[in-house]
Structure 1
Amino acid sequence: MKRLLIGLLIAPSAFADSVLVTNANLMSMGPLGTQHGVSVLIEDDVIADIGTNITTVADTVIDANGAIVTPALFAGATATGLVEVNAVRESADGSMSDTKDNTVQVGFDVRDAYSPMSSVVGVTRVEGFGYSLLMASGGQYSVAGRGSLVDFDGGFESFNGSDVLFVDVGGYAADKVGGSRAAHWMLLDGIMADLKRRSSEREYLSQSGKEHLKDLTKNGVFVFSANRAADIRKVISFSNEYRLNSVITGGREAWLLADELAAADIPVMVNGLDNLPSNFDALGSRLDNAALLHDAGVQVLFTSGETHNARKVRQGAGAAVAHGMPHEAAVEAMTTTPSRVFGGRVRALEVGNRADMVIWSGDPLEVTSYATSVILKGEVTSMATRQSKLLERYLPEDAGLGRAYINR
């Protein structure tokens, strides 16, 4: 067990102060565009130089051998760092159960429960993902709680960007507010009335909740979980009425309102693999959803909808490209766009920016490709995970002998 725990250290491990990546096909996702056959010099935690004639001697040299190098990927909206096993209650902290307090829990902040030592963080990171939108889910009303972007660099306080409030206005969540999705909007109008201190039949917010919501309306981002076109339309009108900085997640029928979403400047976070009407909120699902949104001028982001399978984000982006979305736009949608949408730092691979980058075995949108090296905060990350350590421990080494014969 001791050896296993040692192998679970998930903080990026650097053995040098400087790193030089040579012979890279660099997709900077910034003003530099794509640079072929260049070297990237990393000193401390930032990119110090990019070029073809870097002569600086670095402590660690990685020959990319012509491979594609991108910024670290965005894992979508997940509970990574908040959950180990969903069915084990003490290991799941992404939601708040019903309480006797009837106020809307705007103050519930999942960042207070985040652990960078979660095995899910390490597994997600070695797949080439450097950050995620730490998501609150569930709750006793439409409002689930708050989160933000979080980097997978091993830090306990690796949060950045704006405060984000998660709101579910879909059909499944309607049971929380009386059985009709129309009640979502009655509740949300009520909390906005509370904020403006208008008279109402009941108090929806505590005093601290009012302070949190006031700040969110000015500086934060509202993420609305909605799939049905009618619900998305309500999000657009609600966001316009209260001047909210909003994002749609899910958005299976968002393509039906692509022009309206573009006009309202509301980004949409989609699962590129959604193609079947799995429920009545998603009858209009189609694989070219992302392409249609992009063509209309909507900012597109990708999510898999699964914390333990965040790697599907790459597959979903690849499916979007196969159905009409430009390749570079899809890479941008899962690297730099999310940080821009949620108020995070600039993640393009440019001189002066923090070095969060991935070297790939092939096209990052191909399912057969994989990350060969992951560099976060300028440090070369260990590719060991709990799974790889368990494999080493239990995989038989002697031909013909089963696992029961291996004891170490």
Structure 2
Amino acid sequence: MIRQFLLCAATALALAAPAAAQDFAITNATVATGDGSEPMENATVVVRNGRIVAASAGASAPAGMQVIDGAGKWVTPGIFSAVTNLGLSDVAAVSDSNDEAASGSPFSAALDVAPAINPTSQPLIVARADGITRASIAPRPASGIFGGQGAVIDLGADPEPITRARAFQVVALGEYGARLAGGGRTGTYAWLDNALREAIAYAAGRWQGEDAMLTRADAKALGPVVSGEQALYVEVERASDILQVLKLTRDFPRLDLVLLGVSEGWLVASDIAAAGVPVIADPLDDLPSGFDQLASTQSNIGRMRDAGVTVAIGRMAGGTGEQPRNARQYAGNLVALTRIPGANGLSWGQALATITSVPAQIAGFGGQLGTLSAGARADIVIWDSDPLEVGSAAEAVFIDGVRQPVDNHQSRLRDRYRDLDESDLPKAYDW
């Protein structure tokens, strides 16, 4: 029995061991580097030791290197899903399987999603099969306006998904934050201001626990935020709220702000650009779903980018957070907007960048992820056609130069039932 257990354990460790990065070249493909430039025809991508060596048109593969013929295919960086819940829930409506929020917890800012992320979660595996290679995983504020500390992960088929733990802190303002803070925006701003000041006091050794609103753990967790070592992701929609958030840097000049949602961002785009604050916007906000989104328009992202704002697609609520595979379709919608009179969209290259290099840059991985530039980590997807078209599919997914499995529960169900005839159906089927 002991020998059998040891053999099983050894087998499990062997299966869990990460595969070695491959050296290979993809040739004859349509290649988009993810940096905002337009796709290149008949191009080659070269990978060594898990890193991009080159991506250029007309080049050939180095002698002796494994070659993947990309004729008729498209090659892009892996999709970087900005602000999602992948790995935190299997069935969102089943509370026992959902770790997105901890509404009954005595902690808020101190909550850390990294230990809760499940790399074998089916939604995560399905997302990998659709070309998502990295993601910023964000907790949802519930026990207070702070949600806790998010993490950046890779979606590889190994037991260690964390690329960077405690990568950012999440706070909710606007209507949602007001509900959490006692029913009004006044409570939200007072709570936020007090929390940041208590964090400064804690870091300076002047924090008095008996007189503080924050727990010791929360005050400690906010220390990297007030020092600028950890980004503060602020969920905010209304133009006036956006301006108030930008003013936070007057009292807390080291804050590294990122705005989430930003439905009315186009109204104050010049202010956001002047402040140098990046945005992760919800591309679906073309009609208001609340009073802080009355000026919603699908031209929001295009208008902000025209004003000089750094914009990525993503957000926890709605289709990009809960269904991050939809991000490609939404990026394609932004391209289509350029053909509608009076609308503001993006070029194809700019749209791809909103789901590859820009979210990677916002997450602190500029030049290293979300791009096919030399030296970047080799997160690569080979597509059967234009990846911003609805009908396209990923044919091969690489993370750090390692080809990933793309089978999942959905694909196995498809394969099981696609070619069945009636004699193969369960006997209870005709009940």
User: What TM-score range do you get, normalising by the shorter chain?
Assistant: 0.7 to 0.9
TM-superposed CA distance for 1:300, in Å, is 0.5
Describe the superposition over 1:152-203 as per-residue Cα deviations: whole angstroms up to 9, x where unpaired: 1234243238720100112133222211122111001111221233899941
| RMSD, aligned CA | 2.8
Instruction: Name the SS of the counterpart of 1:311 in structure 2.
Output: helix
Structure number with the higher helix fraction is 2
Instruction: Name the SS of the counterpart of 2:179 in structure 1.
Output: helix
Matched, 1:188 2:192: yes
TM-superposed CA distance for 1:32, in Å, is 8.9
Q: Structure 1 residue aligned with 2:358, among 331, 337, 341?
A: 337
1:403: which partner in 2? 425
In the superposition, relative to structure 1, how do residues 162 and 291 fare at CA in structure 2: closer, same or farther (>3 Å)? farther
2:21, 2:50 within 8 Å by CA — same for their partners in 1? no
Matched, 1:228 2:238: yes
**Farther-moved stretch of structure 1 (64-73 vs 107-116):** 64-73
Describe the superposition over 1:267-313 as per-residue Cα deviations: whole angstroms up to 9, x where unpaired: 11112222111221211110100000000000000016344411111
Give the % identical residues.
30
2:248: which partner in 1? 238
Query: Structure 2 matches for 1:9-408, cutoff 5 A?
Result: 17-30=22-35, 34-50=39-55, 52-59=59-66, 61-99=67-105, 101=106, 105-155=108-158, 156-160=160-164, 163-197=167-201, 202-217=211-226, 218-243=228-253, 244-303=255-314, 305-306=318-319, 307-323=321-337, 324-344=345-365, 346-347=368-369, 348-395=371-418, 397-398=420-421, 400-401=422-423, 403-404=425-426
Is there any run of 5+ residues in structure 1 with no aligned partner, and where? 1-9
TM-superposed CA distance for 1:256, in Å, is 0.7
TM-superposed CA distance for 1:229, in Å, is 1.4
TM-superposed CA distance for 1:90, in Å, is 2.1
2:10: which partner in 1? none
1:6: which partner in 2? none
Residues paired across the two proteins, number: 393
Amino acid at match of 2:84: T
Is there any run of 5+ residues in structure 2 with no aligned partner, and where? 1-14, 338-344
Relative to the length of structure 1, the TM-score reads: 0.88
Structure 1 Cα separation of the partners of residues 310 and 262 of structure 2:
12
